[in-house]
Structure 1
Amino acid sequence: MEFPSWIELVERNVAKFGDLVAGIDPSRSDVPEFFGQDDVWIERFVDFMIESIEGRIGFVKFQSAYFEACGLTGLRVLAAGIEKARAAGIGVILDAKRGDIGATAAAYARAYLTPASAGGSGDFEADCLTVNPLMGPDTLEPFVECANRFGKGLFVLCRTSNPGAGWLQDKMTGNRLVSDRLADLIAAIGANTNGSSRMNAIGAVVGATVPHEGRRLRQLLPRSIILAPGLGAQGGDAAAIHSLRGNIPGDLLIPVSRGLTLVRDRGISAADYRQLIIDRIDGFKAAVAYDYPDNRAIPA
Protein backbone atom coordinates (compact mmCIF):
# COMPACT_ATOMS: atom_id res chain seq x y z
CA MET A 1 0.00 0.00 0.00
CA GLU A 2 1.31 3.43 -0.96
CA PHE A 3 1.15 6.05 1.79
CA PRO A 4 1.43 9.83 1.40
CA SER A 5 4.42 11.65 2.82
CA TRP A 6 4.21 13.20 6.28
CA ILE A 7 3.83 16.72 4.87
CA GLU A 8 1.12 15.56 2.46
CA LEU A 9 -0.70 13.93 5.39
CA VAL A 10 -0.47 17.09 7.47
CA GLU A 11 -1.74 19.32 4.68
CA ARG A 12 -4.60 16.98 3.79
CA ASN A 13 -5.75 16.01 7.26
CA VAL A 14 -5.50 19.45 8.83
CA ALA A 15 -7.65 20.80 5.99
CA LYS A 16 -10.26 18.08 6.62
CA PHE A 17 -10.20 17.63 10.39
CA GLY A 18 -8.18 20.41 12.01
CA ASP A 19 -4.98 20.24 14.04
CA LEU A 20 -6.08 18.10 17.00
CA VAL A 21 -4.12 14.89 17.65
CA ALA A 22 -5.66 12.04 19.63
CA GLY A 23 -3.14 10.67 22.10
CA ILE A 24 -3.47 6.98 22.91
CA ASP A 25 -1.79 6.23 26.25
CA PRO A 26 -3.37 2.96 27.42
CA SER A 27 -3.59 2.84 31.22
CA ARG A 28 -6.08 0.32 32.60
CA SER A 29 -6.85 2.37 35.71
CA ASP A 30 -7.90 5.38 33.61
CA VAL A 31 -10.37 3.71 31.23
CA PRO A 32 -13.77 2.04 31.66
CA GLU A 33 -14.12 -1.42 33.09
CA PHE A 34 -16.01 -2.76 30.07
CA PHE A 35 -12.66 -3.21 28.26
CA GLY A 36 -12.10 -6.14 30.64
CA GLN A 37 -9.48 -7.35 33.08
CA ASP A 38 -7.70 -9.86 30.86
CA ASP A 39 -4.62 -9.15 28.74
CA VAL A 40 -6.75 -8.34 25.72
CA TRP A 41 -8.15 -5.14 27.27
CA ILE A 42 -5.47 -3.03 25.58
CA GLU A 43 -6.38 -4.36 22.14
CA ARG A 44 -10.07 -3.62 22.74
CA PHE A 45 -9.21 -0.11 23.94
CA VAL A 46 -6.98 0.75 20.97
CA ASP A 47 -9.54 -0.57 18.46
CA PHE A 48 -12.29 1.38 20.24
CA MET A 49 -10.27 4.60 20.13
CA ILE A 50 -9.34 4.33 16.45
CA GLU A 51 -12.93 3.59 15.51
CA SER A 52 -14.11 6.54 17.64
CA ILE A 53 -11.74 9.09 16.12
CA GLU A 54 -11.87 7.93 12.49
CA GLY A 55 -13.53 10.65 10.43
CA ARG A 56 -13.23 13.15 13.29
CA ILE A 57 -9.49 13.56 13.92
CA GLY A 58 -6.71 13.35 11.37
CA PHE A 59 -3.85 12.28 13.62
CA VAL A 60 -3.11 9.83 16.40
CA LYS A 61 -0.12 9.76 18.74
CA PHE A 62 0.77 6.41 20.26
CA GLN A 63 2.85 6.71 23.43
CA SER A 64 5.20 3.77 23.09
CA ALA A 65 5.94 3.41 26.81
CA TYR A 66 2.40 2.36 27.71
CA PHE A 67 2.50 -0.42 25.14
CA GLU A 68 5.97 -1.56 26.18
CA ALA A 69 4.74 -1.75 29.80
CA CYS A 70 2.24 -4.41 28.67
CA GLY A 71 5.01 -6.63 27.34
CA LEU A 72 4.70 -8.64 24.14
CA THR A 73 0.93 -8.20 24.10
CA GLY A 74 1.37 -4.43 24.18
CA LEU A 75 3.91 -4.45 21.37
CA ARG A 76 1.65 -6.60 19.22
CA VAL A 77 -1.24 -4.20 19.84
CA LEU A 78 0.95 -1.19 19.06
CA ALA A 79 1.92 -2.70 15.70
CA ALA A 80 -1.70 -3.53 14.90
CA GLY A 81 -2.90 -0.09 16.00
CA ILE A 82 -0.36 1.70 13.82
CA GLU A 83 -1.36 -0.43 10.84
CA LYS A 84 -5.08 0.12 11.41
CA ALA A 85 -4.74 3.89 11.82
CA ARG A 86 -2.57 4.32 8.74
CA ALA A 87 -4.91 2.19 6.65
CA ALA A 88 -7.74 4.53 7.72
CA GLY A 89 -5.78 7.56 6.50
CA ILE A 90 -4.98 8.77 10.02
CA GLY A 91 -1.48 10.25 10.36
CA VAL A 92 0.49 8.26 12.96
CA ILE A 93 2.95 9.89 15.33
CA LEU A 94 4.93 7.40 17.41
CA ASP A 95 5.95 9.09 20.64
CA ALA A 96 9.05 7.08 21.51
CA LYS A 97 11.57 9.93 22.09
CA ARG A 98 14.43 7.82 20.78
CA GLY A 99 17.98 9.11 20.56
CA ASP A 100 21.38 7.43 20.64
CA ILE A 101 24.70 7.30 18.87
CA GLY A 102 25.77 5.83 15.56
CA ALA A 103 24.55 2.37 14.71
CA THR A 104 22.03 2.36 17.58
CA ALA A 105 20.30 5.48 16.26
CA ALA A 106 20.32 3.90 12.79
CA ALA A 107 18.63 0.80 14.24
CA TYR A 108 15.94 2.93 15.86
CA ALA A 109 15.38 4.73 12.56
CA ARG A 110 15.10 1.40 10.78
CA ALA A 111 12.59 0.18 13.37
CA TYR A 112 10.24 3.16 13.25
CA LEU A 113 10.75 4.95 9.93
CA THR A 114 11.81 2.33 7.38
CA PRO A 115 9.21 0.43 5.32
CA ALA A 116 9.47 -3.32 5.11
CA SER A 117 10.12 -2.97 1.37
CA ALA A 118 13.31 -1.05 2.20
CA GLY A 119 14.66 -3.37 4.88
CA GLY A 120 12.67 -2.41 7.97
CA SER A 121 10.45 -4.86 9.81
CA GLY A 122 7.43 -2.69 9.05
CA ASP A 123 5.88 -3.69 12.39
CA PHE A 124 6.25 -0.25 13.99
CA GLU A 125 6.54 1.92 10.90
CA ALA A 126 4.99 5.30 11.69
CA ASP A 127 4.52 8.47 9.67
CA CYS A 128 6.36 10.57 12.22
CA LEU A 129 8.60 9.92 15.25
CA THR A 130 9.58 11.95 18.30
CA VAL A 131 13.35 12.04 18.92
CA ASN A 132 15.64 13.32 21.66
CA PRO A 133 18.57 15.50 20.47
CA LEU A 134 20.38 15.99 23.76
CA MET A 135 23.26 13.63 22.93
CA GLY A 136 24.20 15.91 20.05
CA PRO A 137 23.34 16.70 16.42
CA ASP A 138 25.12 13.60 15.11
CA THR A 139 22.54 11.41 16.86
CA LEU A 140 19.80 12.92 14.69
CA GLU A 141 21.49 12.12 11.39
CA PRO A 142 20.16 8.53 10.92
CA PHE A 143 16.61 9.69 11.72
CA VAL A 144 16.85 12.63 9.34
CA GLU A 145 18.28 10.42 6.58
CA CYS A 146 15.36 7.98 6.93
CA ALA A 147 12.82 10.79 7.13
CA ASN A 148 14.12 12.29 3.91
CA ARG A 149 14.41 8.98 2.11
CA PHE A 150 10.94 7.69 2.99
CA GLY A 151 8.89 10.87 3.31
CA LYS A 152 8.60 10.66 7.09
CA GLY A 153 8.42 13.36 9.76
CA LEU A 154 10.33 13.99 12.97
CA PHE A 155 9.48 15.97 16.07
CA VAL A 156 12.67 16.92 17.89
CA LEU A 157 12.43 17.80 21.59
CA CYS A 158 12.98 21.53 21.97
CA ARG A 159 11.14 23.01 24.98
CA THR A 160 9.01 20.35 26.63
CA SER A 161 5.87 20.64 28.75
CA ASN A 162 6.99 18.90 31.95
CA PRO A 163 7.53 20.98 35.12
CA GLY A 164 11.25 20.19 35.32
CA ALA A 165 12.04 21.08 31.72
CA GLY A 166 13.52 24.46 32.59
CA TRP A 167 16.30 22.85 34.64
CA LEU A 168 18.21 22.36 31.41
CA GLN A 169 16.19 23.77 28.53
CA ASP A 170 15.98 27.29 30.02
CA LYS A 171 19.68 27.45 30.92
CA MET A 172 22.09 29.74 29.10
CA THR A 173 24.94 28.24 27.13
CA GLY A 174 27.16 31.00 25.85
CA ASN A 175 24.71 33.79 25.11
CA ARG A 176 21.78 31.54 24.09
CA LEU A 177 19.22 29.45 25.89
CA VAL A 178 19.54 25.71 25.35
CA SER A 179 16.03 25.64 23.85
CA ASP A 180 16.98 28.41 21.41
CA ARG A 181 20.03 26.46 20.30
CA LEU A 182 17.85 23.42 19.77
CA ALA A 183 15.39 25.50 17.73
CA ASP A 184 18.25 26.78 15.57
CA LEU A 185 19.40 23.20 14.99
CA ILE A 186 15.89 22.01 14.08
CA ALA A 187 15.36 24.93 11.69
CA ALA A 188 18.74 24.38 10.02
CA ILE A 189 18.15 20.66 9.52
CA GLY A 190 14.67 21.35 8.20
CA ALA A 191 15.89 24.00 5.78
CA ASN A 192 18.43 21.58 4.32
CA THR A 193 15.73 18.97 3.71
CA ASN A 194 12.80 21.19 2.83
CA GLY A 195 12.52 20.52 -0.91
CA SER A 196 9.58 22.35 -2.48
CA SER A 197 7.27 22.14 0.54
CA ARG A 198 6.27 25.23 2.48
CA MET A 199 6.65 23.28 5.74
CA ASN A 200 9.61 21.30 7.02
CA ALA A 201 9.22 17.63 7.81
CA ILE A 202 11.64 18.13 10.71
CA GLY A 203 9.54 19.72 13.44
CA ALA A 204 9.82 20.58 17.12
CA VAL A 205 8.17 19.59 20.39
CA VAL A 206 7.27 22.77 22.28
CA GLY A 207 4.93 22.46 25.24
CA ALA A 208 1.55 24.16 25.31
CA THR A 209 2.29 24.87 28.97
CA VAL A 210 4.98 27.44 28.07
CA PRO A 211 3.33 29.91 25.66
CA HIS A 212 5.86 32.69 26.32
CA GLU A 213 8.79 30.45 25.41
CA GLY A 214 6.73 29.06 22.55
CA ARG A 215 6.18 32.50 21.07
CA ARG A 216 9.92 33.14 21.05
CA LEU A 217 10.74 29.72 19.64
CA ARG A 218 8.16 30.06 16.88
CA GLN A 219 10.12 33.03 15.55
CA LEU A 220 13.13 30.73 15.22
CA LEU A 221 11.03 28.00 13.59
CA PRO A 222 8.97 29.78 10.91
CA ARG A 223 8.61 26.75 8.60
CA SER A 224 8.57 24.01 11.22
CA ILE A 225 5.58 22.04 12.44
CA ILE A 226 5.33 22.35 16.21
CA LEU A 227 3.87 19.52 18.26
CA ALA A 228 2.48 21.17 21.39
CA PRO A 229 1.65 18.69 24.18
CA GLY A 230 0.22 19.84 27.49
CA LEU A 231 -3.37 20.81 26.69
CA GLY A 232 -5.88 19.16 28.98
CA ALA A 233 -4.53 17.17 31.92
CA GLN A 234 -1.23 19.10 32.08
CA GLY A 235 -3.02 22.44 32.27
CA GLY A 236 -2.09 24.05 28.96
CA ASP A 237 -4.25 27.05 28.04
CA ALA A 238 -6.25 26.59 24.83
CA ALA A 239 -6.38 30.35 24.28
CA ALA A 240 -2.63 30.82 24.71
CA ILE A 241 -1.73 27.96 22.40
CA HIS A 242 -2.19 30.20 19.36
CA SER A 243 1.12 31.87 20.24
CA LEU A 244 2.81 28.74 18.89
CA ARG A 245 1.22 29.07 15.46
CA GLY A 246 3.05 30.35 12.42
CA ASN A 247 1.54 31.42 9.12
CA ILE A 248 0.76 28.07 7.51
CA PRO A 249 -2.22 25.80 8.23
CA GLY A 250 -0.77 22.64 9.71
CA ASP A 251 2.28 24.22 11.34
CA LEU A 252 0.85 23.48 14.80
CA LEU A 253 -0.44 20.07 15.91
CA ILE A 254 -2.09 19.79 19.31
CA PRO A 255 -2.15 16.39 21.04
CA VAL A 256 -4.63 15.57 23.78
CA SER A 257 -4.41 12.21 25.52
CA ARG A 258 -5.90 11.84 29.00
CA GLY A 259 -8.09 14.86 28.29
CA LEU A 260 -9.94 12.69 25.77
CA THR A 261 -9.87 9.27 27.42
CA LEU A 262 -9.67 9.59 31.22
CA VAL A 263 -12.81 8.68 33.20
CA ARG A 264 -13.54 8.84 36.91
CA ASP A 265 -16.60 6.61 36.65
CA ARG A 266 -15.12 3.42 35.33
CA GLY A 267 -18.56 1.84 35.21
CA ILE A 268 -19.59 3.96 32.22
CA SER A 269 -21.12 2.03 29.32
CA ALA A 270 -19.44 1.64 25.94
CA ALA A 271 -22.07 3.82 24.23
CA ASP A 272 -21.74 6.58 26.81
CA TYR A 273 -17.95 6.42 26.71
CA ARG A 274 -17.90 6.76 22.92
CA GLN A 275 -20.23 9.75 23.15
CA LEU A 276 -18.06 11.27 25.88
CA ILE A 277 -14.99 10.99 23.65
CA ILE A 278 -16.86 12.52 20.70
CA ASP A 279 -18.09 15.39 22.88
CA ARG A 280 -14.57 16.00 24.17
CA ILE A 281 -13.20 15.99 20.63
CA ASP A 282 -15.78 18.59 19.62
CA GLY A 283 -14.97 20.66 22.71
CA PHE A 284 -11.22 20.67 22.13
CA LYS A 285 -11.69 21.41 18.44
CA ALA A 286 -13.83 24.43 19.29
CA ALA A 287 -11.34 25.59 21.93
CA VAL A 288 -8.35 25.59 19.55
CA ALA A 289 -10.13 26.63 16.35
CA TYR A 290 -8.19 29.24 14.42
CA ASP A 291 -8.57 31.01 11.09
CA TYR A 292 -5.21 31.65 9.51
CA PRO A 293 -4.95 35.09 7.91
CA ASP A 294 -5.34 35.34 4.15
CA ASN A 295 -1.77 36.54 3.89
CA ARG A 296 0.13 33.30 4.50
CA ALA A 297 3.52 34.31 3.25
CA ILE A 298 6.32 32.52 5.04
CA PRO A 299 8.70 34.81 6.96
CA ALA A 300 12.09 35.23 5.33
Structure 2
Amino acid sequence: MTLEPFGGRLRRAMDERGPLCVGIDPHASLLAEWGLNDDVAGLERFSRTVVEATADRVALLKPQSAFFERFGSRGVAVLEKTVQEARAAGALVVMDAKRGDIGSTMAAYAEAFLHKDAPLFSDALTVSPYLGYGSLAPAVALARESGAGLFVLALTSNPEGGEVQHALRADGRNVGATMLAHLAAENAGEGPLGSFGAVVGATLGDLSAYDLDVNGPLLAPGVGAQGATPADLPRVFGSAVRNVVPNVSRGVLRHGPDTVALRDAVERFAREVRSAVTSV
Protein backbone atom coordinates (compact mmCIF):
# COMPACT_ATOMS: atom_id res chain seq x y z
CA MET A 1 0.00 0.00 0.00
CA THR A 2 1.37 3.42 -0.97
CA LEU A 3 2.11 5.71 1.94
CA GLU A 4 0.77 9.22 2.33
CA PRO A 5 3.27 11.49 0.54
CA PHE A 6 6.40 12.16 2.54
CA GLY A 7 5.86 15.92 2.60
CA GLY A 8 2.51 15.60 4.37
CA ARG A 9 3.87 13.12 6.88
CA LEU A 10 6.90 15.31 7.56
CA ARG A 11 4.80 18.46 8.02
CA ARG A 12 2.69 16.69 10.62
CA ALA A 13 5.76 15.31 12.42
CA MET A 14 7.40 18.74 12.45
CA ASP A 15 4.27 20.36 13.87
CA GLU A 16 3.75 17.67 16.51
CA ARG A 17 7.33 16.89 17.56
CA GLY A 18 9.22 19.98 16.49
CA PRO A 19 11.37 20.43 13.37
CA LEU A 20 14.49 18.50 14.30
CA CYS A 21 16.56 15.81 12.59
CA VAL A 22 19.08 13.80 14.60
CA GLY A 23 21.89 12.09 12.73
CA ILE A 24 22.99 8.55 13.53
CA ASP A 25 26.71 8.80 12.78
CA PRO A 26 28.60 5.92 14.40
CA HIS A 27 32.11 6.91 13.36
CA ALA A 28 35.06 5.37 15.16
CA SER A 29 35.87 8.33 17.43
CA LEU A 30 32.29 8.59 18.66
CA LEU A 31 32.10 4.87 19.37
CA ALA A 32 35.27 5.29 21.45
CA GLU A 33 33.76 8.23 23.35
CA TRP A 34 30.85 5.99 24.24
CA GLY A 35 33.22 3.28 25.48
CA LEU A 36 32.33 0.97 22.59
CA ASN A 37 34.57 -1.07 20.35
CA ASP A 38 34.88 -0.09 16.70
CA ASP A 39 33.19 -3.28 15.52
CA VAL A 40 29.75 -4.57 14.59
CA ALA A 41 28.76 -5.11 18.22
CA GLY A 42 29.66 -1.50 19.04
CA LEU A 43 27.83 -0.30 15.95
CA GLU A 44 24.69 -2.19 16.95
CA ARG A 45 24.78 -0.99 20.55
CA PHE A 46 25.29 2.62 19.46
CA SER A 47 22.50 2.59 16.90
CA ARG A 48 19.99 0.85 19.16
CA THR A 49 20.69 3.32 21.95
CA VAL A 50 20.11 6.34 19.70
CA VAL A 51 16.87 4.87 18.37
CA GLU A 52 15.59 3.97 21.85
CA ALA A 53 16.42 7.43 23.20
CA THR A 54 15.16 9.58 20.33
CA ALA A 55 12.86 7.85 17.83
CA ASP A 56 9.68 8.57 19.78
CA ARG A 57 10.37 12.30 20.03
CA VAL A 58 12.05 13.61 16.86
CA ALA A 59 10.59 14.26 13.42
CA LEU A 60 13.50 12.71 11.55
CA LEU A 61 16.34 10.32 12.19
CA LYS A 62 19.16 10.30 9.64
CA PRO A 63 21.51 7.31 9.62
CA GLN A 64 24.70 7.91 7.64
CA SER A 65 24.97 4.84 5.45
CA ALA A 66 28.76 4.95 5.07
CA PHE A 67 29.40 4.35 8.76
CA PHE A 68 27.43 1.10 8.51
CA GLU A 69 28.71 0.02 5.09
CA ARG A 70 32.32 0.09 6.30
CA PHE A 71 31.57 -3.10 8.27
CA GLY A 72 30.36 -4.95 5.18
CA SER A 73 27.25 -7.11 5.09
CA ARG A 74 26.98 -7.30 8.88
CA GLY A 75 27.04 -3.52 9.10
CA VAL A 76 24.33 -3.24 6.44
CA ALA A 77 22.24 -5.72 8.45
CA VAL A 78 22.54 -3.38 11.46
CA LEU A 79 21.48 -0.49 9.23
CA GLU A 80 18.39 -2.42 8.08
CA LYS A 81 17.42 -3.09 11.69
CA THR A 82 18.09 0.53 12.67
CA VAL A 83 15.80 1.85 9.93
CA GLN A 84 13.03 -0.60 10.75
CA GLU A 85 13.16 0.02 14.50
CA ALA A 86 13.27 3.79 14.09
CA ARG A 87 10.22 3.79 11.80
CA ALA A 88 8.36 1.39 14.10
CA ALA A 89 8.97 3.81 17.00
CA GLY A 90 7.40 6.68 15.08
CA ALA A 91 10.33 8.58 13.56
CA LEU A 92 10.59 9.28 9.86
CA VAL A 93 13.91 8.08 8.48
CA VAL A 94 16.01 9.86 5.88
CA MET A 95 18.82 7.69 4.60
CA ASP A 96 21.94 9.79 4.19
CA ALA A 97 23.52 7.95 1.27
CA LYS A 98 23.96 10.82 -1.22
CA ARG A 99 23.43 8.54 -4.20
CA GLY A 100 23.77 9.91 -7.71
CA ASP A 101 24.25 8.20 -11.06
CA ILE A 102 22.54 7.76 -14.43
CA GLY A 103 20.05 5.43 -16.03
CA SER A 104 19.66 1.90 -14.72
CA THR A 105 22.25 2.49 -11.99
CA MET A 106 20.27 5.39 -10.56
CA ALA A 107 17.14 3.27 -10.80
CA ALA A 108 18.87 0.51 -8.81
CA TYR A 109 19.93 2.95 -6.10
CA ALA A 110 16.33 4.15 -5.91
CA GLU A 111 15.06 0.58 -5.59
CA ALA A 112 17.50 -0.09 -2.75
CA PHE A 113 16.16 2.74 -0.58
CA LEU A 114 12.79 3.85 -1.95
CA HIS A 115 10.98 0.68 -3.00
CA LYS A 116 8.36 -0.10 -0.37
CA ASP A 117 9.45 -3.75 -0.14
CA ALA A 118 13.20 -3.08 0.09
CA PRO A 119 14.95 -4.06 3.36
CA LEU A 120 16.43 -0.54 3.53
CA PHE A 121 13.22 1.29 2.60
CA SER A 122 13.42 4.79 4.06
CA ASP A 123 10.98 7.67 4.15
CA ALA A 124 13.48 9.80 2.24
CA LEU A 125 16.91 9.60 0.65
CA THR A 126 19.66 12.17 0.15
CA VAL A 127 20.78 12.35 -3.48
CA SER A 128 23.44 14.17 -5.50
CA PRO A 129 22.23 15.94 -8.67
CA TYR A 130 25.67 16.73 -10.08
CA LEU A 131 25.33 14.45 -13.07
CA GLY A 132 22.45 16.76 -13.99
CA TYR A 133 19.13 17.09 -12.20
CA GLY A 134 17.49 14.96 -14.88
CA SER A 135 19.66 12.00 -13.82
CA LEU A 136 17.51 11.81 -10.66
CA ALA A 137 14.36 11.01 -12.63
CA PRO A 138 14.24 7.31 -11.59
CA ALA A 139 14.48 8.28 -7.91
CA VAL A 140 11.85 10.99 -8.31
CA ALA A 141 9.46 8.58 -10.01
CA LEU A 142 9.88 5.80 -7.43
CA ALA A 143 9.63 8.25 -4.53
CA ARG A 144 6.28 9.48 -5.90
CA GLU A 145 5.08 5.92 -6.37
CA SER A 146 5.99 4.80 -2.85
CA GLY A 147 5.12 7.97 -0.92
CA ALA A 148 8.77 8.69 -0.11
CA GLY A 149 10.82 11.85 -0.56
CA LEU A 150 14.23 13.10 -1.64
CA PHE A 151 16.66 15.64 -0.24
CA VAL A 152 18.74 17.01 -3.10
CA LEU A 153 22.18 18.52 -2.42
CA ALA A 154 21.81 22.18 -3.35
CA LEU A 155 23.85 24.53 -1.14
CA THR A 156 25.96 22.39 1.14
CA SER A 157 27.98 23.62 4.11
CA ASN A 158 31.32 22.10 3.08
CA PRO A 159 33.67 24.73 1.60
CA GLU A 160 34.60 22.52 -1.37
CA GLY A 161 30.99 22.54 -2.58
CA GLY A 162 31.21 26.10 -3.77
CA GLU A 163 33.29 25.28 -6.85
CA VAL A 164 30.31 23.36 -8.25
CA GLN A 165 27.30 24.91 -6.56
CA HIS A 166 28.36 28.52 -7.16
CA ALA A 167 29.43 27.96 -10.76
CA LEU A 168 27.50 30.19 -13.17
CA ARG A 169 25.42 28.83 -16.00
CA ALA A 170 25.05 30.57 -19.35
CA ASP A 171 21.83 32.21 -18.11
CA GLY A 172 23.70 33.85 -15.20
CA ARG A 173 22.10 31.67 -12.51
CA ASN A 174 24.39 29.52 -10.44
CA VAL A 175 24.07 25.75 -10.12
CA GLY A 176 22.76 25.78 -6.54
CA ALA A 177 19.96 28.17 -7.47
CA THR A 178 19.15 25.99 -10.47
CA MET A 179 18.67 22.96 -8.20
CA LEU A 180 16.31 24.97 -6.00
CA ALA A 181 14.31 25.97 -9.07
CA HIS A 182 14.01 22.33 -10.15
CA LEU A 183 12.68 21.42 -6.72
CA ALA A 184 10.16 24.25 -6.72
CA ALA A 185 8.84 22.91 -10.02
CA GLU A 186 8.76 19.37 -8.63
CA ASN A 187 6.66 20.48 -5.63
CA ALA A 188 4.30 22.82 -7.49
CA GLY A 189 0.73 22.34 -6.33
CA GLU A 190 1.65 19.92 -3.58
CA GLY A 191 0.46 20.47 -0.05
CA PRO A 192 0.77 20.92 2.84
CA LEU A 193 4.44 20.41 1.95
CA GLY A 194 6.07 18.93 -1.11
CA SER A 195 8.11 15.74 -0.79
CA PHE A 196 11.20 16.94 -2.65
CA GLY A 197 13.51 18.96 -0.45
CA ALA A 198 16.95 20.53 -0.59
CA VAL A 199 20.04 20.20 1.57
CA VAL A 200 21.04 23.75 2.51
CA GLY A 201 23.73 24.38 5.12
CA ALA A 202 22.82 26.33 8.24
CA THR A 203 26.37 27.73 8.37
CA LEU A 204 26.17 29.63 5.06
CA GLY A 205 25.03 32.98 6.44
CA ASP A 206 22.63 35.25 4.60
CA LEU A 207 20.95 33.33 1.76
CA SER A 208 18.53 36.09 0.77
CA ALA A 209 19.95 36.00 -2.79
CA TYR A 210 18.38 32.54 -3.20
CA ASP A 211 14.72 31.64 -3.52
CA LEU A 212 14.45 29.01 -0.80
CA ASP A 213 10.68 28.80 -1.05
CA VAL A 214 10.61 25.49 -2.92
CA ASN A 215 7.39 24.32 -1.21
CA GLY A 216 9.46 21.48 0.22
CA PRO A 217 11.58 20.79 3.30
CA LEU A 218 15.07 22.20 3.73
CA LEU A 219 17.41 19.82 5.53
CA ALA A 220 19.94 22.06 7.25
CA PRO A 221 23.18 20.48 8.50
CA GLY A 222 25.58 22.53 10.58
CA VAL A 223 23.65 23.15 13.81
CA GLY A 224 25.63 22.25 16.90
CA ALA A 225 29.23 21.12 16.52
CA GLN A 226 29.72 22.90 13.17
CA GLY A 227 28.92 26.25 14.76
CA ALA A 228 25.38 27.23 13.74
CA THR A 229 22.75 27.66 16.44
CA PRO A 230 18.95 27.46 16.33
CA ALA A 231 18.84 31.23 16.79
CA ASP A 232 20.71 31.62 13.47
CA LEU A 233 18.01 29.88 11.43
CA PRO A 234 15.70 32.88 10.77
CA ARG A 235 18.66 34.99 9.59
CA VAL A 236 19.90 32.29 7.24
CA PHE A 237 16.58 31.02 5.86
CA GLY A 238 14.29 34.04 6.14
CA SER A 239 10.65 33.40 5.34
CA ALA A 240 11.39 29.77 4.41
CA VAL A 241 12.42 28.96 7.99
CA ARG A 242 9.14 27.20 8.80
CA ASN A 243 10.12 24.46 6.34
CA VAL A 244 13.63 24.02 7.74
CA VAL A 245 14.60 20.77 9.48
CA PRO A 246 17.94 21.44 11.18
CA ASN A 247 20.16 18.39 11.47
CA VAL A 248 22.05 17.91 14.72
CA SER A 249 24.45 15.00 15.11
CA ARG A 250 27.40 15.42 17.47
CA GLY A 251 25.56 18.09 19.48
CA VAL A 252 23.17 15.35 20.61
CA LEU A 253 25.28 12.20 20.24
CA ARG A 254 28.10 13.44 22.47
CA HIS A 255 25.72 13.04 25.41
CA GLY A 256 25.52 9.25 24.96
CA PRO A 257 25.45 6.49 25.91
CA ASP A 258 23.23 7.87 28.71
CA THR A 259 19.71 7.70 27.24
CA VAL A 260 18.36 10.32 29.64
CA ALA A 261 21.10 12.75 28.62
CA LEU A 262 20.41 12.03 24.94
CA ARG A 263 16.71 12.73 25.43
CA ASP A 264 17.44 15.92 27.35
CA ALA A 265 19.71 17.14 24.54
CA VAL A 266 17.04 16.39 21.91
CA GLU A 267 14.36 18.20 23.89
CA ARG A 268 16.62 21.21 24.44
CA PHE A 269 17.45 21.53 20.75
CA ALA A 270 13.80 21.00 19.80
CA ARG A 271 12.69 23.79 22.16
CA GLU A 272 15.33 26.17 20.84
CA VAL A 273 14.48 25.42 17.21
CA ARG A 274 10.75 25.78 17.79
CA SER A 275 11.31 29.09 19.57
CA ALA A 276 13.49 30.41 16.73
CA VAL A 277 11.04 29.32 14.03
CA THR A 278 7.92 30.68 15.72
CA SER A 279 9.60 34.04 16.34
CA VAL A 280 9.49 34.79 12.58
Return the TM-score normalized by structure 1. 0.84
CA distance in 2, matches of 1:283, 1:55: 15
- Unaligned 5+ residue runs, structure 2? none
Q: CA deviation at 1:246?
A: 4.0
Matched, 1:229 2:230: no
The residue that corresponds to 2:209 in the other structure is 216
CA distance in 1, matches of 2:88, 2:263: 21
Among residues 233, 238, 242, which one is paired with 1:241 in the alignment? Answer: 233
The residue that corresponds to 2:60 in the other structure is 59
The residue that corresponds to 1:145 in the other structure is 141
Return the TM-score normalized by structure 2. 0.90
Among residues 269, 274, 277, which one is paired with 1:289 in the alignment? Answer: 274
Q: CA deviation at 1:37?
A: 5.7
Larger radius of gyration: 1
The residue that corresponds to 2:249 in the other structure is 257
Write the letter of the residue equivalent to 1:61: K
Among residues 183, 188, 200, which one is paired with 1:186 in the alignment? Answer: 183
Is the contact made by 2:60 and 2:91 (CA closer than 8 Å) also made in structure 1?
yes
CA distance in 2, matches of 1:139, 1:89: 32
Matched, 1:30 2:63: no
Q: CA deviation at 1:137?
A: 2.3
CA distance in 2, matches of 1:212, 1:284: 22
CA distance in 2, matches of 1:134, 1:38: 33
CA gap of 1:16–1:140, structure 2 versus 1, over 3 A, is: same
CA distance in 1, matches of 2:158, 2:212: 21
Q: Any residues of structure 2 matched to 1:1-300 within 5 Å, and which?
A: 3-31=3-31, 32-36=33-37, 38-116=39-117, 122-174=118-170, 175-191=172-188, 194-195=189-190, 197-213=191-207, 215-217=208-210, 219-242=211-234, 243-244=236-237, 246=239, 249=242, 251-262=243-254, 270=257, 273-290=258-275, 292=278
Is the contact made by 2:126 and 2:152 (CA closer than 8 Å) also made in structure 1?
yes
Write the letter of the residue equivalent to 1:12: R
CA distance in 1, matches of 2:261, 2:131: 41
CA distance in 2, matches of 1:220, 1:248: 9
Write the letter of the residue equivalent to 1:140: L
Runs of 4+ in 1 over 3 A off after TM superposition: 1-5, 31-38, 245-249, 290-294
CA distance in 2, matches of 1:37, 1:91: 27
What SS is found at the alignment partner of 1:289? helix
Q: Which range moves more in the overlay, 104-113 or 222-231?
A: 222-231
Write the letter of the residue equivalent to 1:63: Q
Q: CA deviation at 1:186?
A: 1.7
Query: What is the CA RMSD across the aligned residues, in angstroms?
Result: 2.3
CA gap of 1:141–1:233, structure 2 versus 1, over 3 A, is: same
Is the contact made by 1:247 and 1:293 (CA closer than 8 Å) also made in structure 2?
no
Identity %: 35
Is the contact made by 2:25 and 2:63 (CA closer than 8 Å) also made in structure 1?
yes
What SS is found at the alignment partner of 2:62? strand
Q: CA deviation at 1:180?
A: 1.1
Is the contact made by 1:245 and 1:252 (CA closer than 8 Å) also made in structure 2?
no
CA gap of 1:223–1:34, structure 2 versus 1, over 3 A, is: same
- CA deviations 1:40-95 (Å, max 9, x no partner) are 11111111111101332121001111111122221001000001111112100001
CA distance in 2, matches of 1:247, 1:226: 8
What SS is found at the alignment partner of 1:167? helix
Q: CA deviation at 1:279?
A: 2.6
Q: How many residues are treated as equivalent by the alignment?
A: 276
What SS is found at the alignment partner of 1:231? coil
Is the contact made by 2:6 and 2:124 (CA closer than 8 Å) also made in structure 1?
yes
- CA deviations 1:249-297 (Å, max 9, x no partner) are 5x1111111111136xxxx8x5xx2232223213322332245489xxx
